[in-house]
Structure 1
Amino acid sequence: MFNLIRKDVIALKYYFLFIAAYAVMFGLFTVSSFSPLMICMLPAIMMTLFASNLELRNKSMLFIGSLPVRRKQIVLAKYGSVFVYLALGIILAAAIRAINEYGLGVEFPLTSLNLSLSAALAMAFAALYYPIQFWLGVRNSSFISFLVIFLAAALIGGIGNMADSLTFDMLPTRAQLVIGLPIAGLLLLYVSYRISLNLFLRKDIEG
């Protein structure tokens, strides 16, 4: 599994420059209250999509399918890579925060709540994306990309509307959110993994 994740990271090496440029643009030149959230979360989403597009272009599933690798490991590697991309986003956000606050004297609100929310949203995206990909196939990755981004936006909007309808007494505390959001993301990711594995086991590997 480690080598499968490593394969994706190596294949995406030039895309990391794009992610770094994105972080500099939104973290240094257009700083807002949403900058930490965007820098932490979007690399995981973007790298997941980039990896799928490269997989489609290079037909790497045909090669992986010929190796002595269990399908469970293939699926697990895809989900494990989400945490690698998320870690990259957090490292970039921490670096941008250091440059802003210690170099430029600009406040960069990278809080524990932002980190928890970023992790939860990144895991929610992967939990939506991978089952649809395994269901429809890698060939439809472009369609899947737009579909899942729409679903993720709808999910975020639904959470926001739900929060607006709650009274102050009903709202969770900051500590509950910081702990509860990543746990909810992990549970959602696990359910998604079981669904993806079941779908993948029933289908032949597609190029």
Structure 2
Amino acid sequence: MKLKALILKDLYTQKVYIYFFSMMWFVIVTNFFTDGSPFRHVLLLTILAFWLASSTNANTKSFEGESVLINSLPITRRQIVLAKYTSGLMWFAFAAIAVLVYIFLFDTFAPFPTRMMHVDEFILSLSGYYILLSVFYPILFQAGYHISSIVTFVFAFVVSMGIRIFHNMVENPGLTFMPGIVETLESNATLLMFVFIAFSIFITLISYGLSVRIYERKDF
């Protein structure tokens, strides 16, 4: 019950304008997602879920004030950190519903082919989302919201650039070895997905342990 209350606290204290900004964010980036590519829907879901989860800590002073209040309650700091990581599932569920509605409207009214997301795509998005949270939360507990947001953004940007570079290499006819690499990746797609999921779980567990260690040493 304590864990549930801590999770719901993040929901109740979420700023209303964040939801409006989320709706505007869909409109702003629509041009990027108009081809209906499933990969871009996965990316959209990952980013939206992270935006909702991270924005609950946007006010650094409020976060520190809440920490003082929460730590005066009969709960452990480990439970507080666990609630932060667990609440990520709640925000992911909200984002998934929003993206599914978006895809349905896109499929119904847009003049481009698309389809609803598959289960494996949701799992990949969830894994990528928790990797972002795993970067964000330890830095949040140590240095605050603004620094953690900047570091996570830089991390996501570097990864996305790496993916883009690989995509450009695949389309470069001068790199004759790339088709073989792509064929190998495609033939082992299921294995790679499980490796990515396992990596996400591993990183999340390390991040959680690090966050607990940092937060337990905090002096509020």
Correspondence for 1:125? 132
Correspondence for 1:187? 202
Aligned length: 202
Whether the 8 Å CA contact 1:23–1:92 is kept in 2: the answer is no
Local SS of the residue matching 1:171: helix
Gaps of 5+ in 2: 170-177
Whether the 8 Å CA contact 2:107–2:113 is kept in 1: the answer is yes
How far has the Cα of 1:46 moved from its partner? 1.3
Correspondence for 1:204? 219
Cα distance in 1, alignment partners of residues 114 and 149 from structure 2: 30
The one-letter code sitting in structure 1 at the alignment partner of 2:52 is M
String of CA shifts for 1:118-172, please: whole Å, max 9, x gaps.
2222111111111112222x3xx21221122102222344466578678135415
Correspondence for 2:153? 149
Tell me whether 1:167 sits opposite 2:177 in the alignment.
no
Equivalent residue for 2:44, pick from 20, 39, 45: 39
How far has the Cα of 1:87 moved from its partner? 1.5
The one-letter code sitting in structure 1 at the alignment partner of 2:10 is D
Cα distance in 2, alignment partners of residues 110 and 74 from structure 1: 36
Gaps of 5+ in 1: none
Greater shift after overlay, 156-165 or 79-88? 156-165
Tell me whether 1:83 sits opposite 2:89 in the alignment.
yes
Tell me whether 1:53 sits opposite 2:68 in the alignment.
no
Cα distance in 2, alignment partners of residues 5 and 200 from structure 1: 17
Structure whose alpha-carbon radius of gyration is higher: 2
How far has the Cα of 1:203 moved from its partner? 2.1
Local SS of the residue matching 2:34: coil
String of CA shifts for 1:11-66, please: whole Å, max 9, x gaps.
11512232233235545896233641343112222123311113533621111111
Correspondence for 2:122? 115
TM-score, scaled relative to structure 2: 0.77
Identity over aligned residues, as a percent? 22
In structure 2, the CA distance between the partners of 1:107 and 1:13, relative to structure 1 (3 Å rule), is farther
In structure 2, the CA distance between the partners of 1:30 and 1:168, relative to structure 1 (3 Å rule), is closer
Cα distance in 2, alignment partners of residues 52 and 36 from structure 1: 25
Superposed CA RMSD: 2.9
Correspondence for 2:173? none
In structure 2, the CA distance between the partners of 1:56 and 1:121, relative to structure 1 (3 Å rule), is farther
Equivalent residue for 1:8, pick from 10, 19, 22: 10
Cα distance in 2, alignment partners of residues 21 and 3 from structure 1: 30
After TM superposition, list the pairs within 5 Å mapping 1:16-31 onto structure 2.
16-27=19-30, 31=34
Local SS of the residue matching 1:150: helix
How far has the Cα of 1:188 moved from its partner? 1.3
Local SS of the residue matching 2:57: helix
The one-letter code sitting in structure 2 at the alignment partner of 1:41 is T
Whether the 8 Å CA contact 2:42–2:122 is kept in 1: the answer is yes
In structure 2, the CA distance between the partners of 1:30 and 1:175, relative to structure 1 (3 Å rule), is closer
